A and B are shown apart, each in its own frame.
Chain A
Amino acid sequence: MVEENLKTDQKQGGFQLMLNKKITEPWTSIGTILGQPVIDSYTFYLKKYKAKKGDIVAAEAKLPTGEGKVIDVIVWGRITEIISSNDFLPNEATKELTEENINIQDTILPLTKNDSICMVTNLGYTKNQVGEKMLLLPINYPVAPGGTIKYPAKKDLASLLNSEMNSKNPILIGKLVAREDIDVFVSADNMVSRHVLVIGMTGSGKSVATRRLMRELMHKDYPILIIDPHGDYLGIVKQAKKLFPKHVIKLFYPKISAPSNNKEVIFALIEKLGKKLTDPQYDFLNWLLDNIPYESGQNLMDYINVLIDRANTAAANKRNKSSAGMNGIGNTGATTMGVVARSLRVVQSKLKKMEKDNKENMEKFPHLKFEELPDSYSQPENIISKSQVSILYLKGYESLPSSTIVSILLENLFNHRSAGNKTIPPFFTIVEEAQNFIPSRAEGQDGYPSVETIKKISTEGRKFGVGLMIVTQRPYKLDETVCSQMNSYIILRLKNERDQRFVKNTMENWDDEVARQLPNFANGQGIVSGQITNLPLTVKIKFDADLVNSDLGDEDFINDVQNWKDTEITKKKKSFYKNFDKIFKSDQRRPN
C-alpha cells in the first residue's frame, strides 16, 4: 500500500503532492533542517515568528523498512528550545549602549538580523496517512538535512494526538499549550484502572486538574471517593449539586474504628500517639489488647475507654494483691500498669481533640450536611455507589490517625471488590495531600497503615476496578513503590529541585529538557503523560470556573485584618495585661 503510494507520488512530483492530497488544509512551511540530525532530535532554521516552544512540527523524511525498501513518512517532533541570535550585533556594542544609556533603536546597529534556530525532539513517525487514524511509530533513521519543516493543520494534529488512544471513553482535559486551537483528550478507561499521579506546587493547578477529571468521570456516573485532608473539595459540593442534580454527593467525617482481625492497627495508633513505653509496659498493653475483645466497626474511643478501665482495675488489683483476672501479668507491677493507663488517656485525649477540631471545622459550613463515615466493612454501598461522589473530610486529624482511617476504609473497599461479590461497583479514589498517607521510607512510614493498603491497590487495583489518583505537592516525600506503579502523570509547576529530581527518576521517557520546563509553567499548565495519552503533551488544563470553591472564598487576609475587631474577651484580657505589667514592674522582691 505504502509502496503504491510512493510510486504514485513520485510520478506526481514528490512528497509535497502526496501530503496535499490527504491533509485537511495546507500545512505551512516554517523552516529547513540544519546540520547533523540524529535519530532522536534535529535542529532547523525557523522563519521568523512562525512557531514557538512546545509546538509540534512535522518533517518530511524517508525511512528504510525491514525489507530493504524506503518509504516516505512524516516525522513528528516537538520544539524544545528556540535559540535566537543576531550575529551582526557585536556584543561589545551592548556595553556602550548600557553605559551611555543609548537606545539601540536610535543607532545604526542592526535589529532585524535575528536568526531563530529550533531544537526538536522527535516523537515518532506516521505513515503517509494524515487526517485519519494515525499510528505513531518509533523512528529508526534520522531526518535529512535540508528537509522542509511544516506546521501541521489543526485537524491533522488533533487526529495524531487523540486517535491512537484506543479509548472508548476519551475525556477532555484541556488544550495544547503551544496550540490553543487543539483539544487534548485523555483515556478515561486507562485513568480509572491504571492510576494517575498529579504533582504540582501550591497554586499550580492541581485542583483544576482533579476537578476537570472528576467532572468528566461524573458525567459517566463513575463512583468517586475523595480523601480530603484540608477540605479542598467542600466548596464544590454545592456547585456540583446544581450541575449534577441526579448525583449523590456525600460528605463524611471519620469514625475511628478498626477491623476485629487487625488489632495491629490499634496497637500502632496507641503506640504512636501515646507516651513512649518500656518493654514491660508494651507487654502489658499487648496483654490488654489480647484480653479485651474488639468488635469490628466499634468506635475506637469506646474501646480505649474499656482499655483504660481494665488497666486501672488491674493496677488496683495488683496493689490489693488480688489475682482476679490477672492471668499472664502476675509479674507486672502496679506502676507499669498505671503508666499504660496514663498513656491510653493521652491517646484518648488526643483523639478527642482531633474529633473536636474536625467537628468545629465542619461547623464552619452549616449549610453542608456531614455524615459519620459508615462502616466500610458492613456498609460499603453507602460509600461507593453509581453516580455517587463521597468526600471524606479529615481536617483536624493528625496524619497518623488519618492514615489509619484511610487504610481501614480503602482496605475494606478493596476487599469487597477483590472478593468479586458485586457489593460495590468499580470506583476511583482521589487521595489529596498523598504525602500524609504514603510517606517514603526516608520520611518514616512505620506505623502508617495506609502505605501498605495503597501499595496493594496500586499493584492490584487494576484487576478489580479500583483506580487511584495520587495528588501531592511534595512528590519526593512519597513512597517509591506506589509512585512506580503510577502509569500516568499530570505534572504541573514544580520549583523544588528535589521534587524535580524525583519526577525525573520516577517517570519513563523523561529528559532534562522537560525538567527545565517545570518551574516555568503558568497556573493550570502541565505535562500530561503516560497511558492516559498518546504522547507526553504540554497542556493548558481546562478551568471549570463553575466548580470553583465559592463557599470557601478567596484568601483575603489583608481585608480580614483591616476589618478586624477584637472580641470583648480579648479587649478585657489586654487591659488586664496592662495592670499585671505594672504590678510585675513594681515588684522588687527577690523570689524565695
Chain B
Amino acid sequence: MKQIINNNSSLFSNFIKNSIKAPSPKVQQNFMKVTSELVEVIKKILEAEKLIFDVSYEGKKYWENAKKHKFAFVDGGAYSSFLSSSAPFAIRANTYIVKPDELLERRELFRETVKFVGNLYDPEKNLYDLDEDPYEDNQLLTKKKDAARITFETAAVARHVYENEKFEYLLLHGPLQTPIMPFSGPEFPLFKKEVIKYILPFFKKKEINDKDRHFINVYLNSINYIKKAKFNIFGIVEKTGSTIYLRNLLYRAKQKRLIDDVIFDKTISLIKRYKINDATLFELILSDCQALKPLEVEKQIPSKAWGDWEEQMNNFPKVFIGYLRTNKNQSPIRIESLNNPKKLHQDYEYILATSKLLPNYGFPAGLDVIDKAARIHSWLGKAAKGYYQKYYLNLALNSKDPTTIISALKSISDGGRKFKNRPKAGRLSINAK
C-alpha cells in the first residue's frame, strides 16, 4: 500500500498541499497513515458491495467493431474577460460528431451547436453585478459566467436530443448535472426571452414568464429533456476534487447497517479535515482498466437552497456516478449519467477505448478534440471586447451623467479597486458639461 501511495499522483499533490499548510513531518506521516487506513476500509466496503469491476480493452478489435457507430462529443467555450454588465458576451457549445467508417468528406462534423454573442442576461431586470465591493462583484460575475456555460453545454446536448440524432454515445465534457445551490441566491439575473427561445427549442410555452427565464428553471427543463434521450449520454469529469461517491458509498453502507451512525459521521468529518477526495482514494484502490459501478446520487441538496428554490431542487433527477481508471498514471475519471446504464460494461468499454487514445492524459480523446474546437481564443475575444468597450463608454458619455461615466470608466478598466481608479479628493473630477 505504501508503494501505491508513493506512486499516486493526486495523493502526492494533496500531500504537498498538506505539507505547505502544516509543514511538520509528524503531520505528514499522520496524513499518510490515515489515508492508507481509509483506503483499506473503503476497498473492503467496495469489494463487499461488489462495486469494483474490470473493463476489457483490446484497442484494435474494439475500434474495428465500433467504427460503424456514430459518436458525439460536446464542450462549451466562453470568452471570459467581459464587461461586468454584459457578461457573458461570447459563448458557444460545440459538438464533434464522427462516424469512423464513413467516407472522409462525411466522416466528421464540427458543429457550433449553440452560440451567442451579446447581452445574455436581461438588462431590464436586476443586472446583479454593479456592486460596490469589487470582490463581491467578481463573485457574482463568475456565477453568471458559470450559469451561462452550464446552460449552453446542456442546451447543446438537448438540441441533439431534439433533433433525434442517432448517436451511439454522446459524451459531455464536465458533469451532467451541477449543484444549482450557488445560483439560487436572491435576484440572480434572468436570461433574455430570445435566449430562452433559442436555446430551448423544445420549450413550447407560448408565454415565457420571468421564472421560466431563471437559470435554475432553464437548466431543470434541459436536464429533464435530456433524460428522455434515445442514445447514451455521459458526462465525463477529470481531475475531480469531489467526495460525492465516497460520501454516498458511506451513506449506503450506513443504510445497509454495514457501518453505524457514529462511524459514518466521524469518517465524513475525517474526509473533510484531511481533504481526501474521490480521485485521491480511488486512484489507490483501482488499477488500470478497473471501474466502480455507478451509485445513484442526489446532487441537489434542497435544504441548502436560498430563497424559494427548494421545491425545484427536488424535481431534479438523480444522477448515476461511477469512476473509471484509464491508465496507470492518472487518477480515475468520473462518469455521470442521468439513467442507470443498462449495458454498463459496454458503455465503460467505449469510454475506456476513447480514453486510451490519449494514453498519457487518460481522458476521452473526442472530448480533447472538441475542447480545442470550442475554445474561444483570446485573439477573437479581445477584438470583441475592444469593440464593446467603445460602445459601452459611448453610451455612458451620451448620458452626460458623471456617475454613469465614472461607473463606465471603472467597469472597462478592471473595477474600482485599481490604483488608477482610486477615489478623487473633493468633488467628482469629471465635469458632465
Contact = CB atoms under 8 A, between A and B. Distances in A.
A113 B67 contact: no
A110 B365 CA distance: 10
B175 interface: no
Please indicate which of the listed interface residues A92, A96, A108 has the most CB atoms of chain B within 10 Å of its own CB.
A108
A95 B359 contact: yes
A93 B372 CA distance: 15
B357 A93 contact: yes
B4 to A, nearest CB: 24
B58 to A, nearest CB: 8
B416 interface: no
B88 to A, nearest CB: 25
B361 A96 contact: no
A100 interface: yes
Contacts of A102: 59-60, 63
Interface in A342-356: none
A105 B64 CA distance: 9
A99 B357 CA distance: 11
A536 B360 CA distance: 48
A103 interface: yes
B104 interface: yes
B98 interface: yes
Interface string B346-362: 00000000101111110
A106 B361 contact: no
Contact of B365 (A87, A90, A99, A103): A90
B310 interface: no
B366 interface: yes
B66 interface: yes
A88 interface: yes
Interface in A92-121: 92-93, 95-97, 99-103, 105-113
B368 A105 contact: no
B373 interface: yes
B134 interface: no
B108 A92 contact: no
Contacts of B368: 90
A561 B132 CA distance: 98
B19 to A, nearest CB: 31
B356 A110 contact: no
Contacts of B66: 106
A109 to B, nearest CB: 6
Most chain B CB inside 10 Å of its own CB: which residue of A95, A101, A102, A111: A102
Given A102-B63, A106-B67, A112-B104, A92 B98 contact: no
Contact of A111 (B63, B71, B107, B361): B107
Contact of A112 (B59, B71, B108): B108
Interface in B33-71: 59-60, 63-64, 66-67, 71
B369 interface: yes
A354 B40 CA distance: 95
B302 interface: no
Given A92-B359, A93-B365, A101-B60, A110 B96 contact: yes
B98 A108 contact: yes
Contacts of B108: 110-113
B110 interface: yes
B108 to A, nearest CB: 5
B357 A108 contact: yes
A88 B357 contact: no
A102 B59 CA distance: 7
A105 B365 contact: no
B101 interface: yes
A92 B107 CA distance: 22
B365 A108 contact: yes
Contacts of B372: 87-88
B369 A88 contact: yes
B100 interface: yes
B250 to A, nearest CB: 36
Nearest to B361: A92
A55 B373 CA distance: 31
A107 B100 contact: yes
Contacts, number: 76
Nearest to B366: A108
B369 A106 contact: no
A101 B71 CA distance: 22
A96 B359 contact: yes
Looking at chain A, what size class is its interface with the partner chain?
Answer: 20 to 34
Contact of B110 (A100, A105, A107, A113): A113
Contacts of B373: 88
Nearest to A101: B60
Contacts of B59: 96, 100, 102
Contacts of A90: 357-358, 361, 365, 368-369
Interface in B344-401: 354, 356-361, 365-366, 368-369, 372-373
Contact of B100 (A88, A95, A106): A106
B357 A109 contact: yes
Interface in B55-110: 59-60, 63-64, 66-67, 71, 73, 96, 98, 100-101, 104-105, 107-108, 110
A101 B63 CA distance: 11
Nearest to B110: A113
A113 B372 CA distance: 12
A382 B372 CA distance: 78
Interface string B104-132: 11011010000000000000000000000
Interface string B324-353: 000000000000000000000000000000
B367 to A, nearest CB: 10
Contacts of A103: 60, 63-64
A99 B59 CA distance: 10
Contacts of B64: 103, 106
Contacts of B356: 96, 100
A253 B208 CA distance: 105
Contact of B369 (A95, A100, A110): A110
B56 to A, nearest CB: 14
A433 B368 CA distance: 60
Interface string A7-26: 00000000000000000000
Contacts of A100: 59-60, 356
B100 A92 contact: no
A97 B357 CA distance: 7
A93 B358 contact: yes
A93 B355 CA distance: 10
Interface in A59-104: 87-88, 90, 92-93, 95-97, 99-103
A108 B71 CA distance: 7
Interface in A110-162: 110-113
A108 to B, nearest CB: 5
Contacts of A101: 60
A108 B96 CA distance: 9
Contacts of B104: 111-112
A109 B358 CA distance: 10
Q: Which of B63, B66, B101, B360 gathers the greatest number of chain A CB atoms within 10 Å?
A: B63
Given A92-B360, A100-B60, A106 B71 contact: no
A268 B105 CA distance: 74
A105 B60 CA distance: 11
B110 A108 contact: no
B8 to A, nearest CB: 21
Contacts of B357: 90, 93, 96-97, 107-109
A112 B96 CA distance: 12
Given A90-B358, A100-B59, 15 more contacts: A88-B369, A90-B357, A90-B368, A96-B59, A96-B358, A102-B63, A106-B100, A106-B101, A108-B357, A108-B365, A108-B366, A109-B357, A110-B98, A110-B110, A111-B107
Interface of B: 59-60, 63-64, 66-67, 71, 73, 96, 98, 100-101, 104-105, 107-108, 110, 354, 356-361, 365-366, 368-369, 372-373
9 contacts: A90-B365, A93-B357, A93-B358, A93-B359, A102-B63, A103-B64, A106-B101, A109-B357, A110-B98
What 4 A-B pairs come out closest when comparing CB atoms?
Answer: A100-B59, A106-B63, A106-B67, A96-B359
